[in-house]
Structure 1
Amino acid sequence: MSQAPASLDAYRDSLSALEGPDQTAIADAEARNAQLTKPPAALGRLEDLARWYAGWRGDGRPALSNPQVVVFAGNHGVAARGVSAFPTEVTVQMVANFEHGGAAINQLSRQFGARMDVHALDLDRPTQDFTQAPAMDDADVLTALGTGWAAVDPAADLLVTGEMGIGNTTSAAAIAHALYGGAAEDWVGRGTGVDDAGLALKAQVVREGVARHAGGDGLNTLARLGGREIAAMAGAILRARHEGIPVILDGFICCSAAACLHAVNPAALDHCVAGHVSAESAHPALLAQLGLTPLLSLGLRLGEGSGAALAIGILQGAIACHSGMATFAEAGVSGG
């Protein structure tokens, strides 16, 4: 499915027609794992990761050699409400930093051999303030979803999506509040470092937005409360599923994009693992809603895809052990 869906209903159709992992590859991976020179389950979650990856790549002894990191950037009209400690000009400045190789995500992508791409989405045209109107109309959200869809390299064998956008933790909190309920305060965090007054303001803004845009499914929520970079991440995650490319999810904002897909079809994230749990206060609750257990917990709150990119190394280690270790028979070791 190389072409992006042409309408939100077509995206819904693509979410309802999802293939699962290759069960033969999983069985082959399990059989190989049972013969490797180690006690059963001695590598813990690395063994689970290897089997998961094998199933999505359709190979019981897979390689991981072509990871892709894609960073999407967008500006948010709701930032005008004062919900961020930084001005929206920072989004443009950070995109330039990404493009010149100076950000944390550049270093992590390089360290783990990942191709890195950057897509800035209409930075001179912020989304609407979602307390006053839908953040995006159908044309805007389809363009953003399509940008994410087209950004995925079909030859990649792993995808990480990252983001940059002043105000986007407020947007992510509104999405989570709309999808999962509770109080607005349950979902807002300090983001770029707002003080207590800023935190209270964020909760108020989230309450107003969700009250205005109640109802609809995950894609409606994405359009009404999201941002272009959040929609682009959703489009990329869905394209990866159709291409059989496993995904490592990043922090709270990335997971809010994934949640919009999950709300339409709970199986939509079966090809995803959570790279880390961030320091953003609501991220653990969002991961729990998605049924995901993070690989890392390092107190990160940078975004950009940084936590997920760091977790590439964990998955590389899992695949290296699974596919590179000798079996008992090959090594001449008793016990196999």
Structure 2
Amino acid sequence: MTAASTVVTEAAVKALLNEQTTVRVRPRYEGSNICTWIGFKHVNYMVEEAVLDHFRQVGMPARALYEEHGLGLDIVALDTRILHAFHMDDLAEAVVAPDTKAAKAAKAAKAGKAGKGGKGDDNTVALRVTINVERDGVVHKAVTAKVRVSLRIDTYLDSAGEVPAELARFAVARLGEQREAEPRLPFDTEDGILDQLLEGKNAYGWTWHIPYPYCHFTERLQMSGYLRLMEEGKDRFVADRGISIKTLLDDRRWIPVVPRSEITILDEAMMEEDLYITYEVEEVFKDFTYTSRMNFYVIRDGELLRTATGTIVHGYAVIRNRRDWSLENFDQRVLDAVNGDGIKGAAPRHW
């Protein structure tokens, strides 16, 4: 694609915001960490691939948007529910449906219902993704996800192209700029930041130097990088509480399962900045699941700025054999560890 007009047209943008697309997706081999089941991070990668393909199918692939117009395609919000587990080598069908006001109005009109017309005031590309998988001849709805996309104007290179008028309302100079500005948090010393963020909370935290493999478009941490950190947060937290992943695997063949995860990018975290990360238990539901909040901060102008926030719901399952598992209720040992009962916990680690 050499001419800008071949990348962005009025018809292409209309299709992006109104037409449904489907694509076949498979989980990556890397995501099969225990037996042949696929972890939540790689399920979200499948959602991401479906979104990227939606842009491809309407004629505006991420590469062309960046190379021709200087627009970086960034997923800035992701809310995913996992209804059925994925296995290695599963071939699934992902359906991507626009969730903008215009799409909702068109859907209502098609169904003969009253709906608000017009383009609406959406300032992100809102999409819903459903992933279906076949089991023993029956098609199951395995994943539902709500996704929001921003088109970040490239400011790193001087040769960035002009933003097409058709996409102007989705183009931002900084991720999160359409949201209310995050309050800055003062701190006394950098060494005391984690102690300040964790004080009085059932939480764990660590400091992490952002490496380039977690970034994209030359400078900023991308959504998949945050997903990797969410997975790492669980691993660090349970290890700190004495119920590490391997400990429960060896003791009772228990593995963590994630029925839901969600994360929103509030501002930008840049390559080689230090990221201050907290993992806080917000709620324990009976003895079945617990929800943890993860927050991510960087230092800007001498204060702390939160760049992303999200939650992850965890439960446990027992491995029955190489093919099957079943959900388990927490025992007292796990409940005490998650609740922090009788556990002082290690000092916040700086890794």
Q: With structure 1 as the length reference, what TM-score do the two structures score?
A: 0.22
Q: Which has the higher contact order (CA 8 A, sep 6+)?
A: 1
Rg (Cα) greater in structure: 2
Q: With structure 2 as the length reference, what TM-score do the two structures score?
A: 0.22
Higher helix fraction (1 or 2): 1
